[in-house]
Structure 1
Amino acid sequence: MKSILAYLLFFAVATANAQDRYQAAMKQQVSLLDSASTFNPASLNALSNTFERIANAEQTQWLPYYYAAYCLVNEAFMTQDKTKVDPISDKAALLAEKAVALKGEDSELSCLLSLIAVSRIAVDPMTRGARFGTESAELLEKAKTQNPENPRVYLLQGQNLMFTPEAFGGSKSKGKELLNVALQKFTAFKPESDIAPRWGEVYTKELLKMP
């Protein structure tokens, strides 16, 4: 009996230590997303690789896959060579689906998948705009039903309206209305943890400054 109790105690301590190491590693990497110097293709790619290594080591945590995909989709938006966008977006989608497999349907993941859809439009806006614009919009509506208090839903809806030509349903004024809703939601929003998604408030304010 004593040996069983000793084993259970050892297992509990080891599990707690592993969780502490995971939280510390994630917190360190997530904090890099607060730095403007991180937002260039090379740094985002490197950070995505780090998150993916954490994900592969943990195997049961969805957030490392989420952040690995988030870094890649931002890399896709910044990539000048359009022939490289689809491979980057494809990998981001694969990582996002791994997060969905672990977490299940979730507002943050629907927002991420919406971003990935938008990243594909820049390759050829004339032929891809309708398809991926519709996919992005549907994912954001899904994200809203999953969590109507998620500010990133309204940020991304507002951004999409602002950067879509009026001939295709875009509207800067309606976009800014949604951005103001996002800003109100950010004020009340409380992330679930130190490493939960919290991005977007600063970017919302920058978009609202645009003419």
Structure 2
Amino acid sequence: MKTFITILLAVLSLTAFSSKYEETMKTNITKMYQVSGSAELQLLANKFERIGNAEPDEWLPHYYAAYCFIRSTFFDEMNADAKHAQLDKAQELVDKLMKTNSNESEVHALQALLYQLRITDMSKGAKYSMKASAAINTAEKLNANNPRVYYLRGSNTFHTPSFFGGGAEKAKPDLEKAAKMFKNTQQNDGLMPSWGKVHNSQLLSQCNEIAN
């Protein structure tokens, strides 16, 4: 009887702990998509890192910490040096994830996004576009149903000069595929990544405008 009670208490404690983790993560993920300032995103990145340090078996906290640093470059008109400083912080976290979760498609998709944002001038275009493309291909091999694969590939192609095989016309099929997948993908787990849909829609609209 004592053994049964001990096991029951352990199960209840684990369930409560898991519930608290999920609740905290969902709260911070919601904030992450709502805030529009780099300082707030850096604070959220620190929160996610603390969760990750407390939960070494969970990969999503460090994933979102990295994404917060990446997302922070979208706001406040950062200059190139400031952007790269934030991306350096994100890269450290992605490097950790690559060591522990290299079989996760979303990690390679995040790496691809980071590489794309490294292109702050023409001199960095060829290097980081190729790196992004390689990361996207790996993400696709790991999960061909990941819509971020086709969004990122379309984005990469869209921003590649036409004389290098890029441009809106070449990008459109991948962006259209991503749009369908974003629409049809049901997010059953509120903790899993869902970014990319809005920007994919914007790029697709630009493709349609150029075609007309």
Give TM-score scaled by structure 2 length.
0.88
3-state SS of paired residue (1:121): coil
Are residue 162 (structure 1) and residue 161 (structure 2) matched?
no
Q: How far, CA to CA, are the matches of 1:42 and 1:177 in structure 2? A: 36
Take 2:172 and 2:32, find their aligned partners in 1: how far apart are those partners?
Answer: 25
**CA distance in structure 1 between the aligned counterparts of 2:8 and 2:21, rounded to whole angstroms:** 20
* AA in 2 matched with 1:135: K
Report whether the alignment pairs 1:143 with 2:139: yes
Stretches of structure 1 that go unaligned for 5 or more consecutive residues are none
Is the 2:32–2:44 contact (alpha carbons within 8 Å) kept by the matching residues of 1?
no
Q: Is 1:46 aligned to 2:79, yes or no?
A: no
Q: Is the 2:108–2:138 contact (alpha carbons within 8 Å) kept by the matching residues of 1?
A: yes
Deviations 1:123-159 (A, max 9, x none): xx23321111100001101111111111111111111
Distance 1:91 1:130, change over 3 A: same
Within 5 Å, give how 1:100-179 maps onto structure 2. 100-122=98-120, 125-179=121-175
Q: d(CA) in 1 for partners of 2:158 and 2:167?
A: 6
Distance 2:185 2:105 in 1: 14
Q: Choose from 203, 206, 209 the match for 2:202.
A: 206
Q: Which moved more, 1:187-196 or 1:46-55?
A: 187-196
Counterpart of 1:25 in structure 2 is 24
Structure 1 stretches of 4+ with a deviation exceeding 4 A read none
Counterpart Cα distance in 2 of 1:203 and 1:72: 18
Query: For 2:163 and 2:101, how far apart are their aligned partners in 1?
Result: 38
Matched with 1:55 is 52
Q: Could you tell me how far apart the structure 2 residues matched to 1:205 and 1:117 are?
A: 21
Contact kept in structure 1, 2:41 and 2:71, CA below 8 Å: yes
Match 2:176 to one of 163, 177, 180: 180
Separation in structure 2 between the aligned mates of residue 185 and residue 128 of structure 1, nearest angstrom: 30
Match of 1:86 in 2: 84
* 1:12 corresponding residue in structure 2: 11
Counterparts of 1:112 and 1:94 in 2: how far apart (Å)? 13
Q: Matches of 1:164 and 1:12 in 2, distance apart?
A: 53
Q: What does the per-residue CA deviation read over 1:4-53, in whole Å, with 9 as the maximum and x for residues that have no partner?
A: 33332222111111100000011111112442xx1331222122112111
SS of the equivalent of 1:209 reads: helix
Question: Once the 2 structures are TM-superposed, how far is the Cα of residue 99 of structure 1 from its aligned partner?
Answer: 2.9
**TM-score normalized with structure 1 length:** 0.89
Q: Which amino acid counterpart does residue 134 of structure 1 have in structure 2?
A: M
Distance 2:151 2:49 in 1: 26
Q: Where do 5+ consecutive residues of structure 2 fail to align?
A: none
Quote the Cα distance in structure 2 between the aligned partners of 1:81 and 1:162.
Answer: 23
How many residues in Structure 1 have an aligned counterpart in Structure 2?
Answer: 206
